[in-house]
Amino acid sequence: MAERTFWTELWNAKWALLNGIAITTELSAYVVVASTILGLLGGLVLVYGWRPAALLVRLYVDVMRGIPVLVLILFWYYGLALFKINIPAFWAGVIALAGFATAHMSEIVRGAIQSVPAGQSEAAKAIGLRFWQRLRYVILPQATRRVLPPWVNTAVEMVKATTLLSIIGVVELLLATQQTIARNYMVIQFYLAATLLYFVLNFAISRLGALLERRFAYMRY
Amino acid sequence: MQNHMKPNATSAATGAMPLLRAVDVHKSYDRLEVLKGISMDVEQGEVLALIGASGSGKTTFLRCINLLEEFQQGEIDLDGEPIGYRMTGGRRRKIPEAALSAQRARIGMVFQSFNLFPHMTAEQNVMLGLTKVRGKPAAEARDIARHWLERVGLAERRGHYPFQLSGGQQQRVAIARAVAMEPRLVLFDEVTSALDPELVAEVLGVMQDLARSGMTMIVVSHEMLFVREVASRVVFMDGGHVVAQGPPQELFRDPESERLRSFLGRFHGVFS
């Protein structure tokens, strides 16, 4: 019988862990993409929207930011089950995290749009551009650059928040790691391995953000 | 350029429509009234200088002309068409955004703080309105942009981003951006006030060139030498009113208004 080392155990657990990474990545991707799109809409409504609509988004943002993410996750999974609405754990998790992140993204977009100097919008008006044209060609390209740093921040937070979904039984990287540990009792080694994998994933997002920031560096005032 | 000794009388006598006509324009911020009934005509080809102390309402009035500021009473007509508002069913309403944008496209504006689009090159700044508002194909827009950048002396800088240009160069790009749209008139809002003294001349030179070519211009400026040299008519505003107006030679030589006299007194050397 071969000796049991970390490396042999890692090899044995490779499919479970890779599957965990895949689920974590998939969850993160859904959450980041959905919250980016919805946050863009939310931010636009906050800045330009019809007053009652803007107030509604404002209320949503403030409520969401005030509730712990874990409570949101439990609500979508167990809370709705009380009303005989059953959502698969994966999707309950996506909805909970995306709903939470949307609140943050809306605020990020609002802040970025409002930080574009008023003169930019005036100059765009003065050459006869209409509202959507001003947004598309003048305001949003400039806001994008200001969105990037806080956007990366929120994206990274959301990747880490997917670990909370282990509580409702989504076998993402953390739960996959825990299940592996339950078989081989190599607690420290496998938690460290999972930590490293989370770091790699988040570091990649940070680098992507930095790359995009450099890409927009010509946009100085 | 035409001579406009008495432009109001001239247009009344011939019955010709002025390019721009403002009638009794009032504007308030909350309860503070900043324009208290401004009326004036601007004829085609005229260079009208608006002068006055800060807070006199000249910049506000300029911004009302392309509705960057709303105004509560009165009317501004461009080629006989009321700008920004329409009477429907006895009520004064803002016109729809598309119609307002079309009106703005006929009025150029140059700002004190340049307001070039920082994510676009000089050429792209000039092209944007031509392609998106005028609907010109990119190649034609590029030719027009190059023509105007050359006209303002920046042919070599067309690929530069605003942060790579000096203030004077940025302002000349902004002028090219405004005039490339072939507007009916161009508004200049203290366009040299943010510039280092040694850069003022290059911008004023471009404006003088435009004035000579017959461009209708309304210029808010503190450059009294330029005003005296280039303006066909000067309007002096104070406290939200038009206090005096006339050709610069007459107005500056013998100011009837006490307010104008004290205002001009601040520009030592220019009028002595």
Number of inter-chain CB pairs under 8 A, A vs B:
80
- Residue appearing with tokens 């203030």: B167
- Residues near A34 by beta carbon (within 8 Å), at least 6 away in sequence: A94, A98, A101, A102
A127/B177 touch (CB, cutoff 8 Å), yes or no: yes
Which pLDDT score, from 0 to 100, does residue B253 have? Answer: 86
Cβ distance of B119 and A131 shorter than 8 Å? no
Write down the H helix ranges in B152-236: 167-179, 197-212, 224-230
pLDDT recorded at residue B270: 64
Domain of A187 in residue numbering reads as 6-215
Residue A221 lies in a domain: no
d(Cα B3, Cα B16) in Å, to the nearest integer? 15
The answer to whether the Cβ–Cβ distance between A126 and B66 falls below 8 Å is: yes
Q: What is the pLDDT of residue B1?
A: 40
Q: Angle at which helices A187-215 and A173-184 pack, to 10 degrees? A: 160
Contacts of A220 in chain B (CB under 8 A): 118, 161, 163
CA distance B76 to B73: 10
CB contact under 8 A, A219 and B97: no
Q: Rounded to whole angstroms, how far apart are CA atoms A36 and B229? A: 56
CB proximity B23 to A under 8 Å:
no
CA atoms of A99 and A106, how far apart (whole Å): 11
The contact set of A with B (CB < 8 A) is 117, 119-120, 122-131, 133, 137-138, 141-142, 216, 218-221
Question: Which residue of B62, B64, B125, B128 is the best one to mutate when testing the A interface, meaning the one whose CB has the most A CBs within 10 A?
Answer: B128
CB A143 within 8 A of CB A78: no
Contact A142 B119 (CB under 8 A): yes
Contact criterion met (CB < 8 Å) for A128 and B178: no
Residue A192 lies in a domain: yes
Interface residue B161 vs chain A (CB under 8 A): yes
- For chain B, the straight-line distance linking the first and the last C-alpha, in angstroms and rounded, comes to 27
Chain A residues near residue B133 by CB distance under 8 angstroms: 127-129, 133
Rounded to whole angstroms, the maximal C-alpha distance in chain A is: 81
User: Model pTM greater than 0.90?
Assistant: no
Can you tell me the ipTM of this complex?
0.89
Residue A167 domain flag: yes
Q: Name the E strands within chain B.
A: 20-29, 32-42, 47-51, 73-78, 81-82, 85-88, 91-94, 107-110, 185-189, 217-220, 233-238, 241-246
Do residue A137 and residue B104 have CB atoms under 8 angstroms apart? no
Q: What is the pLDDT of residue B3?
A: 44
CATH number of the domain within which A129 lies = 1.10.3720.10
Positions in chain B whose pLDDT score sits under 50:
1-13
How many distinct structural domains can be found in chain A?
A: 1
* Residue A50 domain flag: yes
| Residue A183: inside a domain | yes
> Residues of B with CB below 8 A from A122's CB?
68, 109, 111, 115
Q: Both tokens of residue B8?
A: 């109001």
Put simply, the answer to whether B133 touches A126 (Cβ < 8 Å) is no
Task: Look at residue A48 and tell me if it is in a domain.
Answer: yes
221 residues of chain A, pLDDT tens digit each: 568 899 999 999 999 999 999 999 999 999 999 999 999 999 999 999 999 999 999 999 999 999 999 999 999 999 888 888 889 999 999 999 999 999 999 999 999 999 999 999 999 999 999 999 999 999 999 999 899 999 999 999 999 999 999 999 999 999 999 999 999 999 999 999 999 999 999 999 999 988 988 887 766 55
Q: Supply φ then ψ for residue A2, to 5 degrees.
A: -70, 155
Domain for residue A220, yes or no?
A: no
CB contact set of A107 (below 8 Å; sequence gap of 6+)? A43, A46, A61, A65
Q: Using the beta-carbon criterion (under 8 Å), do A126 and B68 form an inter-chain contact?
A: yes
- The answer to whether position A1 is within a domain reads no
Q: What pLDDT, on the 0 to 100 scale, is given for residue B10?
A: 46
